[in-house]
Structure 1
Amino acid sequence: MGFIEYEKKGEIAYLYLNKPEKRNAIDSVMSDLFLEYLEEYKNDPQARVLIITGKGDKAFCSGRDLKESKDNPEAFKKKPLRGRLFNAIIETYKPVISALNGAAVGAGCEIALASDIRLARKEIKIGMPEAKRGMGATFGATILPKLISPSFAAKMLYTGKLVSSEEALHVGLVDELLDNQEQLMLRATEIAEEICECAPLSVQRIKETIWKTMDVPLFQALQLDIGPNVYESEDRLEGTQAFLEKRKPVWKGK
């Protein structure tokens, strides 16, 4: 079994961080595998939604494997996560759900931030302690203040303190809390199935629009035409016809 596992069940893909003995900390080998599977998901027309989670019950991901910085400093320097994993998650332009089965710390928190939907198990810890490690949390410092209160984001980042999943729900850092890992994965799959009922080109266009207009002034953003042209697609005709005929649409993704 690999340190990253990837599988598909119908239209839903699952990516598992599988190094529970090290709290799913990511080293260079794992980051390369992560990127390979993201690319596979991105290019697979049959895969509609990706769910990322961790193996074990202690951690979703405890961040970058800092031991690698001592044992293999060149690999650590040459393959920074911030410009690779997090951007790649966003730029799949297909939905990504993070199911936080345990602590999401540092890069683990940033993987969740790059995802479109974040679910978490109750009574876990989330945050970015980079300021306590002499690091920069570049991706987190960029995206977190856009997702939650800038002042709360600043407090998290400046102090490096972790917050509980209950507090994360309160501030909008996660979307739902589940009692245990089984319920977490069931809920993630349920949301993924709901997404799969929608037209794939529409979902892609919506995701691209969300991310690409995040910092664009409103009236400028409204003038943009982002993503695939769904208005001239076969699926638009099918969606209308299916609605009139009171049946489920059969999407072709074109």
Structure 2
Amino acid sequence: MPNVTADHPPVLTERRGAVQVITLNRPHASNAMDAAGSYLADRYLREAEADPQVGAIVLTGAGNRCFCAGMDLKEAARRGAGHGLVPGAGFCGVTERVIGKPVIGAINGAAVAGGFEIALACDMLVAVEGALFGLPEVKRGMVAFTGGVQRLAQQLPRQTGMEIMCHGTLLTAERLKDLGVVNRVVPPAALLDETLAFASLMLENSWKAIAFGKELFNHAMHEPLPDAIARGHADADRLMRSDESREGIAAYVEHRTATFRKETPK
């Protein structure tokens, strides 16, 4: 891992209840991540994923202008592009991997280039009003190959995705909400509170069911429907006949709130 300056860490991490908040912390550089920042973000993501007391992860940026402007182009000019790509995990440890826990992007400003790749890799997005998203790499003779183009193809209509990729077009949070990519658009001052409330409401449900559902959902994105249904049947016993399901059913019958274990399954 590249060296990190302790006085000005490029990434911050903080626990908020059962949510780990990871903040890209280079606002002076539009939160563009150098190699040190990318590797540090990867480390914090892996620590959060391994902690059974963390139910969800929130990714956000420092300041009120940019979520992330992608890789640090000044560093790339000195060292060459790609030094911030974590092997097997991609930019900031997220664009090329699937994280087992729900990841929510709290998009505090422009999410472009690698920043949009990070946003597309999140499971859900809460964005501030007017935030811009896009892949302008084509204007620099590059392609967002570490997940950006691939996730565009999965998540957006072909014509819109192709425009974003080929023209470098920027879309607003409001437009991406209309397209189903952004879940909530909120005022800037309310972003973190709204995101944490969004995460906390989710975590009132069974964490085991959330993990199983995310795993099944991710497989279903790439499998024919009969295969995806067969996978669900093959794995169903570990959830449908579990302590969690018995508690959920009993709570319904007894007209009370279910009490689920607040730890991620092993």
Deviations 1:176-212 (A, max 9, x none): 21122x2121221111011111111100011111112
In structure 1, the residue corresponding to 2:15 is in which secondary structure?
strand
**Preserved contact between residue 68 and residue 115 of structure 2 (Cα < 8 Å):** yes
Q: 1:147 aligns with which of 148, 152, 155?
A: 155
**Preserved contact between residue 165 and residue 174 of structure 1 (Cα < 8 Å):** yes
**Residue 4 of structure 2 corresponds to which residue in structure 1?**
none
Instruction: Return the alpha-carbon distance in structure 2 between the equivalents of residues 12 and 191 of structure 1.
Output: 11
Instruction: Return the alpha-carbon distance in structure 1 between the equivalents of residues 99 and 215 of structure 2.
Output: 9
Instruction: Return the alpha-carbon distance in structure 2 between the equivalents of residues 100 and 117 of structure 1.
Output: 10
**Residue 245 of structure 1 corresponds to which residue in structure 2?**
254
Matches within 5 A, 1:53-132: 53-73=60-80, 76-80=81-85, 83-84=89-90, 85-87=93-95, 91-132=98-139
Instruction: Return the alpha-carbon distance in structure 2 between the equivalents of residues 200 and 87 of structure 1.
Output: 23
The aligned amino acid for 1:178 is V
> What is the root-mean-square deviation in Å for CA atoms of aligned residues?
1.9
**Preserved contact between residue 99 and residue 118 of structure 1 (Cα < 8 Å):** yes
Gaps of 5+ in 1: none
In structure 2, the residue corresponding to 1:109 is in which secondary structure?
helix
**Residue 210 of structure 1 corresponds to which residue in structure 2?**
217
1:157 and 2:162 correspond = no
**Preserved contact between residue 52 and residue 96 of structure 1 (Cα < 8 Å):** yes
**Residue 5 of structure 2 corresponds to which residue in structure 1?**
none
Instruction: Return the alpha-carbon distance in structure 2 between the equivalents of residues 78 and 24 of structure 1.
Output: 16
Q: 1:172 aligns with which of 160, 180, 195?
A: 180
Instruction: Return the alpha-carbon distance in structure 1 between the equivalents of residues 137 and 74 of structure 2.
Output: 15
| Paired-residue identity, % | 30
Note closer, same or farther for the CA distance 1:20–1:233 as it changes in structure 2 (3 Å cut): same
Deviations 1:155-175 (A, max 9, x none): 111101212222222222312
In structure 2, the residue corresponding to 1:167 is in which secondary structure?
helix
The aligned amino acid for 1:239 is G
In structure 2, the residue corresponding to 1:222 is in which secondary structure?
helix
Task: Tell me the CA shift for residue 87 of structure 1.
Answer: 4.4
Deviation beyond 3 Å, 4+ runs, structure 1 = 76-79, 225-228
Note closer, same or farther for the CA distance 1:55–1:211 as it changes in structure 2 (3 Å cut): same
**Residue 242 of structure 2 corresponds to which residue in structure 1?**
233
Instruction: Return the alpha-carbon distance in structure 2 between the equivalents of residues 53 and 86 of structure 1.
Output: 13
Instruction: Return the alpha-carbon distance in structure 2 between the equivalents of residues 159 and 16 of structure 1.
Output: 29
Say which is worse superposed, 238-247 or 201-210, in terms of deviation.
238-247
The aligned amino acid for 2:35 is S
Instruction: Return the alpha-carbon distance in structure 2 between the equivalents of residues 113 and 68 of structure 1.
Output: 24
Q: 2:10 aligns with which of 3, 7, 12?
A: 3
Gaps of 5+ in 2: 1-7
Note closer, same or farther for the CA distance 1:193–1:77 as it changes in structure 2 (3 Å cut): closer
